[in-house]
Structure 1
Amino acid sequence: MGNRAFSWLMKLIGGYGKLNQKNPSVSRFGAVVNGKLVLDNKSLNYLDDYVRQLSLIYSKIKIHTGTEYIYPLDSLILRMHERPVICSITVDYDRVLQSDLNELRSRIQKCSNIAFKDRELKVLSEIEKLANRVSISLAKSDGRREIILKDYFPKMLYGKPTSLDEALQKLLFYNALFWQMDHYHIGLGRLDSILCEYYQNDILNGIITESEAKRMIREFILVLGKDTHAKSMSFVGDTGQYILLGGVNEQGLNVDTPLTSLFLEIMAELKIPDPKLILRVNKDTSMQIWNKAVKCILTGTGSPLIMNEMLVMDKMARFGYDRSDVWNVGTSACWEPLIIGKSFDQNNPFKSAIAIKPLNDIILSGEDFTNFNSLLISYKAAYAKELESVVKDIDFDCSPLFTLFFDDCIDKELDFTDGGAKYSFHGAQVVSLPNTVNALLSIKQFVYDEQLFKLSDCKRAIETNFEGMEDLHSLVINSGKKFGSTDEEVVELTNNLISFTGDVISKLTSNGQPVKVGFSSPNYISSSKDVLASLDGRLNGEPFAVHISPLTSKIDISEVLEFSSMLHYNDNCINGNVVDFIIPSSYIKESEKLTRILKNACSNGIFELQLNVMDKATLVDAKAHPEKYPNLIVRVWGFSAYFNDLPESFKDNLIRRAEVYEAT
């Protein structure tokens, strides 16, 4: 919680103090006096502060009735929070839907840890109070819908819903509570599977028709997306709200459901960026689902992201997740895999490791190398230090609310963040891998193989931003061997660096646990601003490559997907490896061709894939005349957003990328 939120809390409780931060990833209430936290002249445990905050917020939330569903999230209060306490988590909403507060209360009352027991019982009490507030608000209206909803509150707190309508309402109720308590980037998980039994029972018993179900789910999606501005973190649209579709069940059988198709249809029709979709695919994913997924992608919303689940699950099991759990793989917010309802994994808690910077540094040092291999060895030593510098131990805040709904927490009598959750494998991210591969290939070719330049020339090019070195700049930009190419040398060097990265990270821990690493980072613009020109042809401060994507018009989508399928990730290199590509809008008329390309790519072994559908002319015009394009959506990193909401640097980067890819 940041200073604004803290000030707001002080006003509510009539106290004052200052925020104590041990490091940027932790927040606590109160002033520090003689080594103790003091608030209102009283020493408080931060877990108790959390419960106190929960009580205050829940009592202040405005309840809006007269709507299809009640969503107890007060966006004005939410906006007062500068920073989340715990973020990028996927709750097991099946567990949430089946939860019974009386059953939870009975289990908690048996706990021997008095402090833990008291806190969790208070959390239950506050949930009940809020549900009663909602019920009272609904009682003031005699509308038909309000009468129906009033019957849901607070009954729905004490057991499994009896209909799809009730399930959607219960899911929204708890989702709003999580958000309101600073828990940002909350994934919604496998809703097509979770909600299917309610849908099928209602259809079978004649309670609803398919069209009525579609209308209800459509409204549910719109409710989730209505507070996008308040829920967003770095940029408008960056909410982390994803709905996971498809994939296998606990027995390893593919479980496309009627709702898998329905969600894809609804999102293709709505054409909104938030929430987003992620589709788990395998060899048994039906052509119907593939076709609907591609149709959705071709609307230009950037959804769904494609996860090649069998490859991902196998890597997760090899890393350290139980094979009995990996069937329920989800993501933390964008693409980083975790186990739904069991993982406290924070997959972006560190600054990104910048792969290109160590290469610049050794060239700028002026050291000479007799051959490329000796330079590569020196680079790896410097790169290892860069990787080691970003992984740290982190002191996280608590979550007594999440503790109710995650495996083992109550039995262990431990908070979700303090050993209660089964997994806490945090993740690092590497940015600029494509730039680094291209720079190394250029050095090898033009300095060592063809001897057209010396390392001293490369040093001067970096220092001068290629001024006076235009011939070298032209050569490195137009060289034939590039990241994304299926050329043997390119693939070998890329796999060499991936393997090395995994080996270095395997020796590191965060909070005593192994660390994951991935090659897709949201920081491809922000982390590049202070990095000098690099020998891939990138100029001083220009953005790095986006995730796993080529930097040349000579590589088309088919080749980059084939290249990606040839990459060999270490068992710890699983923290997101997304092929990111911009395809021209002409593919809208060739959806079957695109379906074949994507399906074959997954069969061949890519990890993950996201696509933008756009053209340069539209983006240029949208930047010049934003009023003409209020609904233009683009994929930014692990989320989509309205083009008009993006900073100028991101608009410019998308325009540059669209120009490059249009030539493919």
Structure 2
Amino acid sequence: MAERMMRLSSEPPKTLLEAAQLLFTVHSSLHLIGEPTAIGRLDQLLFPFYERDVANGLLDDEAQEIIDCFWIKIGEKVQLNRQFVEDHQPYGNLAMGGMSGNYPQGAANNQWIQQVTVGGTVADETPGEGKPAYNRVTLLCLRAARRLPLNAPCLSLRVRKDIPPEYLHEASLALLSGGAHPILLSDEKFIPGLLHSGDNVGNGTGETAFTPVVDKAAGAWRSEVALQAARDYACDGCYEPQLVGQNWFTLGGMSVLQPLEAALNEGKSWTTAGPMYFRGQRVSFTSPPPKEIRSFEQLLALFFQHLSWMYAKQVDGLLGVFGTMSAVCPSPLLSVFIDDCLDKGVDLYEGGARYNIVAPCFTGCSTVINSLYAIQKMVFDPDTAVTSLPELVEALICDWGYRMDEPFISTLAGPARIEGKAERFKKLREVAMALPRYGRGHQELDGMGNELLRRIAETSVRVFTEPAAPTAQKMVELARRLGTPDKPFGGFQVQPGVGTFENYLEFGAMFGASADGRRLGETLASDLSPSPGFADQPVSHQVAGFMQALSGYTGQGVDAFTSGAPTDFNIREEFPVVSLQRVLAAFAEGRGSNILTVTCANPETFAEATRSPEKYDLLRVRMGGWSEFFVAMFPGHQAQHQRRPLSTPEDRS
């Protein structure tokens, strides 16, 4: 190994083993400086060396051993005992633009930003759908994920309609082995979205002092994405598609629960409602009170108005600090690997990358879809209405009757009257909890969700394509400062996404009760997945057929989330391999969202693992952005996983 390392310090690798060693060394070096970066398209990187070695007599078993050893080295940082976890990211900027800082470590025990992406499409300019990129190393990676009971690297498999069946078969076996990976990403949905993510950014609705930005910047602005770059995407540390070696990236998360609370509550959030803040702290502009909202359409219009206002404010702040991170946290090593940084002599965090991806990560989408459906049925549908909007909002402010505080009740009214009002709110909650849930195959609700998602994505993109005057001015100033006609500033590529990652507990704790029956501070769904069962009720797994539930996510709304809209499904351990392969094939054909993840474990297994963790130290689950050892998770996260819906083979429930 010492000889190999000395040679690699000054010469390119010649064999599969040397190439794997070099990749691991670079990967480790980036981790050491606080810039953990995903590994990228491993099969495309290693296949030329594999071909050369095979021609020289390398056996497939030997190649598999090299890949397996690579897997084991990547997975050696695991922390299984949550009583002895450590802060594993004390410095650096996590290879993240904007103002990211540390993530909540308690939820991310074993998130080491170690994604491996395989399969998909060859990165070239071939017309049409492009050429498939599957090769023998793709299969070796799938087999490593099945053979080795590790959580890292987390494997991401890019799928196309023409993916050969043997790759889906290997993926099915890997998932049924209990590793919760590979995750599947749809090339037919991602590549067009990435390709057009920079189109019309900064154009505005007409000529102003700062729009169109491309004209006002005098050739120093270029936001369009090349087809080859779009085809060469690989997952970031969780799943967000990155234009390999070419982009700066930031998330910019936002919960859509906040604009919904604002729309219902005069621009305020009711989490803090009570004697101190009355109806809650202001989070947006003052909008009409519930009694003046006369229709469901008016409520939707207010929701999207608040969403647009809130996100536009966030984007303007993001652009205001763009490029300033390098003054306090430069990244000379990572900048070497990002196109245009060296040519421009500009650090990645200063704005030197070819592209600058902004991926607003909208959380709470499933909860908002369920809540709006509940409001429509409980308030505005004359055939099913059971309450008024003012009463429903008051019930939510009072946590469905479990938090009866002034000024929403009077302590002078006496306990009997207060309890009577609380019971009324609890009865309304029972109605809400009995309604169908998004993502479980209910045609009307899933269709409504698809339309809401389409409008959320369009609203976020419009903030960039039709920027407010101060935002457009910042775009022009950045182009003039960081670009030239020869080397234009990369503009911005807006790629909306859905993602709680590991923070479904944290984000849920920030918001009050919601109209779908969820209590104050309760967990949200993971990513765009179906909402888990209510935390204060007996466990209900909302059992539905996998194909039926998958079909409910199909549509232009989900497809518009070009940074990914993961749908996390749970299946039992006895799920037939042929049935799972059929599900994966349907996803590759275009059914479902653009990201599919599968956790294979019985509810009984989860229950036993909480009582006897030493017996279940290989049990892994999908944790929003990676595979996690179940016993390493804190009890709150374990409980959320135990309440996730179950999907059954075919459409049998």
Task: Decide: shared fold, TM above 0.5.
Answer: yes
Deviation of the 1:570 alpha carbon: 7.2
Deviation at 1:435, TM superposition (A): 0.9
- Give secondary structure in 1 for the equivalent of 2:496: strand
2:290 corresponds to 1:367: yes
Aligned to 1:212: 62
* 1:116-515 mapped onto 2 (5 Å cutoff): 149-184=1-36, 186-206=37-57, 208-229=58-79, 234=105, 235-249=108-122, 250=124, 251=126, 252-320=130-198, 321-346=225-250, 348=251, 350=252, 352-365=253-266, 366-368=289-291, 369-391=293-315, 392-393=317-318, 394=321, 395-396=324-325, 397-449=329-381, 450-467=384-401, 468=423, 469-480=425-436, 482-488=438-444, 490-508=446-464, 512=475, 513-515=492-494
Structure 2 contact 440–542 (Cα < 8 Å) conserved: no
Distance, in Å, in 2 between the alignment partners of 1:547 and 1:153 is: 41
Q: Distance in 2 between matches of 1:599 and 1:335?
A: 20
User: What aligned pairs does 1:24-43 form with structure 2 within 5 A after superposition?
Assistant: none
After superposition, the CA RMSD in angstroms is 2.4
Deviation at 1:503, TM superposition (A): 2.3
Measure, in 1, the Cα distance between the counterparts of 2:559 and 2:154: 29
Q: Does 1:562 align with 2:517?
A: no
Name the residue aligned to 1:650. 637
Looking at structure 2, the residues matched to 660 and 155 of structure 1 have their Cα atoms a distance apart, in angstroms, of 51
In the alignment, the residues of structure 2 paired with residue 567 and residue 485 of structure 1 have an alpha-carbon distance, to the nearest angstrom, of 17
Q: For the structure 1 residues 497 and 279, does the alpha-carbon distance in structure 2 shift closer, same or farther, using more than 3 Å as the test? A: closer
Alpha-carbon distance in structure 1 between the residues aligned to 2:459 and 2:260: 19
Partner amino acid, structure 1, of 2:240:
E
Name the SS of the counterpart of 1:244 in structure 2: strand
Structure 1 residues 614, 570: CA separation in 2 closer, same or farther (over 3 Å shift)? closer
SS of equivalent to 1:609: strand
Query: Aligned partners of 1:297, 1:562: CA distance in 2, in Å?
Result: 20
Structure 1 unaligned runs (5+)?
Answer: 1-148
The residue matched to 1:533 in structure 2 has which SS? coil
Amino acid of the structure 2 residue aligned with 1:192: D
Candidates 525, 530, 540, aligned match of 2:520:
540
Q: Is the 8 A contact 1:384 1:501 kept in 2?
A: no
Q: In 2, are the aligned partners of 1:491 and 1:567 still within 8 Å (CA)?
A: no
Deviations 1:119-155 (A, max 9, x none): xxxxxxxxxxxxxxxxxxxxxxxxxxxxxx2322332
Give, as a single letter, the amino acid of the residue that structure 1 aligns with 2:590: N
CA displacement 1:516-544 (0-9 Å, x = unmatched)? 22122223221111311111111111111
SS in structure 2 opposite 1:375? helix
Q: For 1:396-428, what per-residue CA distance to the aligned partner results, in whole angstroms no more than 9, with x for missing partners?
A: 332111222222222222223323321111221
SS in 1 for 2:400: coil
Q: Distance in 1 between matches of 2:648 and 2:521?
A: 22
Which of 567, 571, 574 matches 1:586?
574
Shift of the 159–406 alpha-carbon distance from structure 1 to 2, 3 Å rule, reads farther
Decide which structure has greater helix share. Answer: 1
Distance of 2:646 and 2:398 partners within structure 1: 26
Cα pair 2:361 2:497 within 8 Å, conserved: yes
Q: Give the 3 Å change call, closer, same or farther, for CA 601–171 of structure 1 in structure 2.
A: closer
8 Å Cα contact 1:400/1:415 also seen in 2: yes
Q: 1:79 matched to which residue of 2?
A: none
Q: Contact conserved, 1:520 with 1:547, CA < 8 A, in 2?
A: yes
Q: Secondary structure at the match of 1:456?
A: helix
Q: 2: CA distance between counterparts of 1:172 and 1:554? A: 42
Unpaired segments of 5 or more residues in structure 2?
80-85, 90-102, 199-224, 267-288, 402-422, 476-491, 532-540
Change (3 A) 1:496 1:220: closer
1:83 corresponds in structure 2 to none
- Alignment partner, residue 59 of structure 1: none
Question: Secondary structure of the residue that 2:504 maps to in structure 1?
Answer: coil
Amino acid at match of 1:371: S
Report the Cα distance in structure 2 between the residues aligned to 1:362 and 1:316, rounded to whole angstroms: 32
Task: Report how far residue 286 of structure 1 moved.
Answer: 0.7
Paired with 1:569 and 1:274, the residues of 2 have a C-alpha distance of 28
Conserved 8 A contact 2:513-2:520: yes
Deviations 1:24-75 (A, max 9, x none): xxxxxxxxxxxxxxxxxxxxxxxxxxxxxxxxxxxxxxxxxxxxxxxxxxxx
Partner of 1:438, secondary structure, is: helix
SS in 1 for 2:228: coil
With normalisation by structure 1, the TM-score equals 0.72
Structure ranking higher on relative contact order (CA contacts 8 Å, 6+ apart): 2
Distance apart, 1:483 and its partner CA: 4.7
Q: Does 1:623 align with 2:621?
A: no
CA shift for structure 1 position 490: 3.9
The worse-fitting range, judged by mean Cα deviation, of 388-397 and 404-413 is: 388-397
Q: For residues 77 and 635 of structure 2, what CA distance do their matches in structure 1 show?
A: 23
